[in-house]
Amino acid sequence: EPMDTTNNEAYLMLSVARACRDVLRAEQVLSACLAHEHESIAKLYQYKVNSGEGKVHDMDMDIGSIRATIKQCGMAVDFTEHDGAFVFHTSSS
């Protein structure tokens, strides 16, 4: 009977060791997945920043064009910010 007890204990210890190994492998896989997720999110944010810079440039060009057109009509142009939005103010010169 002591041999059975020793065998059972060894079997249970081996089972615990395998479970620990499986947990470590799962943690490694999870870490790799999280790293991939974070890299993908960073690339998405970088893309949004880059595309946003283009949009800001396009809007600047549009605003410049609008100002030039208004000035050609003989009006003065001024921009002020009101509640987070820019507002045109024109006056005849």
pTM of the model: 0.50
pLDDT digits (tens, 9 = 90+) for 4-14: 888 999 999 99
- DSSP-assigned letter for residue 63: H
pLDDT digits (tens, 9 = 90+) for 49-72: 888 777 777 777 777 777 777 777
Q: What is the largest CA-CA distance in the chain?
A: 109
- Name the nearest CA neighbour of 90 among 34, 37, 36, 79: 79
Average pLDDT taken over every residue of the chain: 81
CA distance between the termini of the chain: 109
For 75, other C-beta atoms within 10 Å of its C-beta total: 15
How confident is the model at residue 49, as a pLDDT? Answer: 81
Check the CA dihedral 77-78-79-81 and report its sign.
negative
